[in-house]
Homo-oligomer: A and B are copies of this chain.
Amino acid sequence: MKMMDIGEVADRSGVPPSTLRYYEELGLIRSVGRRGLRRQFDADELLKLSLIALGRAAGFSLVEIAAMFGQDGQLDMPRDELRARADDLQRQMAKLRVLRDTLRHVADCKAPSHLECPTFRKLMKAASRTTEPRKLPARTGAERRR
């Protein structure tokens, strides 16, 4: 099987060597051995790196991503947790959609002040629905939520 030096992995994945070493340290990727000192990677790691990049883009932490791979290196989670994650992503997408629409609207809107524009306000209301956990009940303590 064809093995790659870290530099080749870096070039093909766009991820710098320092980061690859760091990822290996965290257990996100694995080198299959050494040639002299040099780590050897096989091609599967490229796929894994795509998945990692994807996960990062989706806002997962490295530790969370690591948890999604079993020690065998395969994606491995209880099915219902996978589905729950997928649903999180769906919600995340809804936020992005709102922001995207807001930006597009602002780009096109003629109103002198956005605060006065009904479309803008509607978008912002949609925004608050998706963003604010709203823990209003019980306001009697000091600066809370820590």
Q: Which applies to chain A's interface (DSSP): helix, strand, loop or mixed?
A: helix
Q: A86-B103, A134-B14, A136-B12 are in contact. Are A54 and B97 (CB under 8 A)?
A: no
Q: A10-B143, A50-B127 are in contact. Are A92 and B16 (CB under 8 A)?
A: no
Measuring CB to CB, which residues of chain A are less than 8 angstroms from any residue of chain B? 7, 10-14, 16-18, 44, 46-47, 50-51, 53-55, 57-59, 74-75, 77, 79-80, 82-83, 85-86, 89-90, 92-93, 95-100, 102-104, 106-108, 113-115, 124, 127-128, 130-136, 139, 143, 145-146
Q: How far is the CA of A146 from the CA of B133 in the complex (A)?
A: 39
User: Contact: A74 with B132, CB < 8 Å?
Assistant: no
Chain B residues with Cβ below 8 Å from A107 are 79-80, 82-83, 86
Q: List 8 A-B contacts (CB under 8 A).
A: A10-B145, A14-B145, A50-B124, A51-B127, A57-B92, A85-B103, A89-B100, A92-B96
User: Contact: A57 with B104, CB < 8 Å?
Assistant: no
